[in-house]
Amino acid sequence: MGSLYAALLARSGQKVWLLEKDNERIAAIRRGGLSIKEDDGFWHVPFEHITSAVEDFGSADLVMLFVKAYDTAAAMFDIMPAVAADTTVLTLQNGLGNIEQIRQHVPGVQMLAGTTAQGANLLAGGCIHHAGAGDTIIGAPEQPVRWRAEAVRDLLSAAGIMTSVTADIYSVLWEKLLVNMCINPLTAIVRIRNGQIIEHPALLQLLDQIVAEGLAIAATLRIQLPCDDPIKKVLEVCRSTAENISSMYQDIRSCRRTEIAQINGAVVGYGRRMGIPTPVNAMLTDLVLAMEHLQHTA
């Protein structure tokens, strides 16, 4: 996702730096740029501004975080030399807890958070598959800095990333969380594409239970969701991304750590603290964690 956004912004004329730890990927992108595979072909942008050392590019106007949620704290520590008093930090990550971790490093007034329906898969080196286009929604956790969100909205929209600003970003984050709570673990455990969930009555029954537990937590937190029917919303996403392989399924296939602890596991944690039962989400969390462990010990 970071490479997709970098390519789109660079194509629009912005100066963009990618911070990357994989030296082989750095060399590949410096050598060959970024290539984006779309349904109707490829497009390419030369891209030399990629490094493993944040000191190479000085302070930034905008920092965008796309790392896995469990890497947020480490990423913020690494990026801080580029964060000045007027730098905006935007997270478009999955899961809960990212805002709180970022706030430990920068003042809340410099923060933005959001969700995106854009989809991207890494094919090789600097080659990215743009798996799906969709809206990006951003907002300021602290409302007096709405102007930051509006400035970033204009920047992203000019790059072809259609972006809107919401006055209640927590509402949007929880709606996306409910979607991820269903699609990610179910596809990873059963090893299916997103759209296949709606073909199986047993999975639809689990989906209902996952959402019901999440809604109980959201209601206690007084989160007002933007959609009237969360189940319908999840099913719509399943259909609109039918051929996609979820990020969690990709992680399992590649023997990588998943974000289950920051998605379903985060809801389980809320439930424990609030005294609200979340047995289905607890079961899914344990199953995915067991899959991770078995892959790493095989």
Q: Catalytic residue numbers?
A: 176
What's the half-sphere exposure (Cβ side, CA atoms, 13 Å) at 64? 21
Question: Which residues, at least 6 apart from 80, have a Cβ–Cβ distance to it below 8 Å?
Answer: 54, 105
What's the half-sphere exposure (Cβ side, CA atoms, 13 Å) at 18? 30
Provide the strand spans (E) within 14-153.
18-19, 34-38, 41-45, 50-51, 60-65, 83-91, 111-116, 119-124, 127-132, 136-139
The whole-angstrom separation of Cα 30 and Cα 32 is: 6
Q: Which tokens in the block code for residue 123?
A: 């094919």
Do strands 34-38 and 127-132 pair parallel, antiparallel, or not at all (unpaired)? parallel
The whole-angstrom separation of Cα 11 and Cα 76 is: 26
Q: Which residues of 209-230 are buried (b: 16+ CB within 10 A; e: fewer)?
A: bbbebbbbbbeeeebebeeeeb
Indicate if the alpha-carbon torsion angle 258, 99, 242, 238 is positive or negative: positive
Alpha helices in the chain (DSSP H): 2-11, 23-32, 72-79, 98-103, 146-158, 169-190, 201-220, 230-240, 247-253, 264-274, 279-297
Q: Which tokens in the block code for residue 291?
A: 């899959």
Contact call for residues 112 and 90 (beta carbons, < 8 A): yes
Contact call for residues 214 and 181 (beta carbons, < 8 A): yes
